[in-house]
Structure formats: C-alpha cells, structure tokens
Structure 1
C-alpha cells in the first residue's frame, strides 16, 4: 500500500471510528489534533469521561494485534497531557473529568473494537 493510500485508509478509519463513537453516546470534540509531541486522532466526551482516541485501520482484523505499541501510545499520551486542560470541564481536585486514552481498531467488514483506558501514567 502506498503512503497516499494508507493515509486515505486512515482517514476513512477515523471517520468510521467517530461515527461509531457518536452512535454510542460520545460527542466528538476534535479530530486530528496535533501538538509538537504527537497527534490525537479523536477527542471525545461522554458525560464526565474525556477520551483521547488513537484509531488504527488495518486491511484485516488479524493485523490488529500489531496495530498499536508502546511507542505509539507514548506519543498519544504526551499529546493528551498537553491537550487535556483545553478540553476538561474542571480540575480533578474539584471532582472533574475522568481522562483516559482509548484505541479504536477497524478493519473492513468487521465491527470496530473499542479498547478502553489502554494507557496508565
């Protein structure tokens, strides 16, 4: 797959991940938000939960196991750390938002797999 085709597939995956999240009660606050240390594919909120979502699209669901690794999650976590204050409603000391990092795995003809709270600081 060429770089251009991979980019297009990734954008489609992000579109479908956002669609799936909306169907499950999430409000999408941002997409493809980039800061110097990394990028967050989707920022979403449901109630008091603020999720920074890494989306991985693969041609085959058998490739999901290799889709995410510690290096990728470290970059997402660093970006989320910088972006969280911008999207939080109030501080944790005041009973504020639960902030987490999730992963959405997508492949053709398969329901998305939403992995919840995949990163611990």
Structure 2
C-alpha cells in the first residue's frame, strides 16, 4: 500500500471512530492534535472524562491485533501528557483509549488501553 493510500485509509478510520464515539455520548474536542512527542488522533470528552484516542485502521482482524503495542502507546501517553493541561483544566479524569477500525465490522473501542 502506498503512503498516500495508507494516509487516506487512516483519515477514513478516524472519521469512523469519531462517529462511533459520538454515538456513545462522546464529544470530539480535537482531531489530529500535534505535539513535539507525536500526534493524538482524537481528543474526546464524556462527562468528566477526557480520552486521548489512538485510532488504528487495518484491513482485517489479524492486522489490527498487531497494530497496538507498548511502544506506540508510550508515544501516545507522552503526547497526551503534553496536551492534558489544554483539555483537562478542571480536574477531569484522563485516559488513553484505542479505537480499532476494519472494513465490514463495527469499530472496537478499548477504554483505558494504557496503564503506564
């Protein structure tokens, strides 16, 4: 797959993930938020919880199973730590979630995917 196709697939997956989260009461506060430590795909709020969301889009379940690992989540955690003061100003709970997207299947939302 070319870089452009992968980028396009990733953007589509982020859109699907954003709509999926909205269906469950989340409000999207930011998309593709950049920091020196990396990028956060989605920042979402529901009640007093702020979720920094990593979205992975793959062609099948096997590829999705390999898409998230400790190294990737460490990068997301560092970026989330840099962004926390911007989004969690009133003592909200902060967590890192993952949404897995593949064709012809409902997205899978993994809450609290990072436990430090």
Coarse TM-score class (shorter-chain normalised): over 0.9
CA deviation after TM superposition for structure 1 residue 89, in Å: 3.4
Q: Which residue of 2 aligns with 1:36?
A: 36
TM-score, length basis structure 1: 0.93
CA distance in 2, matches of 1:53, 1:28: 10
CA deviation after TM superposition for structure 1 residue 64, in Å: 1.4
Tell me the secondary structure at the aligned position of residue 82 of structure 2: helix
1:108 aligns with 2:103: yes
Q: Which residue of 1 aligns with 2:67?
A: 67
Q: Which runs of 4+ in 1 moved over 6 A?
A: none
Q: Which residue of 2 aligns with 1:13?
A: 13
Which structure 1 residue ranges, 5 or more long, are not aligned?
A: 91-95
Which structure 2 residue ranges, 5 or more long, are not aligned?
A: none
CA distance in 2, matches of 1:34, 1:5: 21
Q: Tell me, yes or no, if the aligned pair for 1:100 and 1:119 is still in contact at 8 Å.
A: yes
Q: Tell me, yes or no, if the aligned pair for 1:61 and 1:106 is still in contact at 8 Å.
A: no
Tell me which moved more, 55-64 or 79-88: 55-64
CA deviation after TM superposition for structure 1 residue 120, in Å: 1.7
